[in-house]
Structure 1
Amino acid sequence: MAGFLDRAKEQAQSALAQGKSKVDEVQAQRAGADLLKQLGAAYYAQHRGTGSPEATQQALAAIEAHAAAHGDGFLRGA
C-alpha cells in the first residue's frame, strides 16, 4: 500500500510541476505580447511626432531582454 501511495504522490508532484511550467510559459507569452504592443505604440507615436526615438529604443531593449530570458516564442504568435 505504501508503494502505491508513493507512486501516487510522485505522479501528483509531477503533474503539479508540469502545470506550474505551463503557467510560467503562458505568463511569459503574455508579457512578451504586452512588450510588443508597447513597442508598436512607441513606434507609432514616434512617427506621428508625439513620441521619441528613445522610447522606441527602450521598448525594443525590453523585448530583447525578455527574449534573452524567456526565448523568442512570443514572437511567433505575433
Structure 2
Amino acid sequence: MNAFPDPLWPVLVLAAVSFGDALLCIKPVPFVAKCFEDVGFPAAGGGPPPRSSWPRPRASSPGSGCRTSAR
C-alpha cells in the first residue's frame, strides 16, 4: 500500500502555494506594505479608518468616459 496520493502533483502545487503564502505573511512585499501605509491600515486604534477620512469621489466630466445618466 502506497502512502502517497495518486496523482501527487496537486498536493505538491498546494504545498508550494501554502509555502509562498506563509512567506508573504511573515513580511509583506514592499508594494503591498506601501499600499497598507497609504490607506492607513492597520489604524492606530486597531480598526479600519473612519469613513469620514475616505477620499471623496471626483465629479465626472462629460468626456471622462463615465456615464452618469442613461442615454
Structure-2-length-normalised TM-score: 0.35
Instruction: Pick 1 or 2: higher relative contact order, CA cutoff 8 A, min separation 6.
Output: 1
Whichever of the two has the greater Rg, that structure is: 2
Return the structure number with greater helix share: 1
The alignment's TM-score, normalised by the length of structure 1, stands at: 0.32
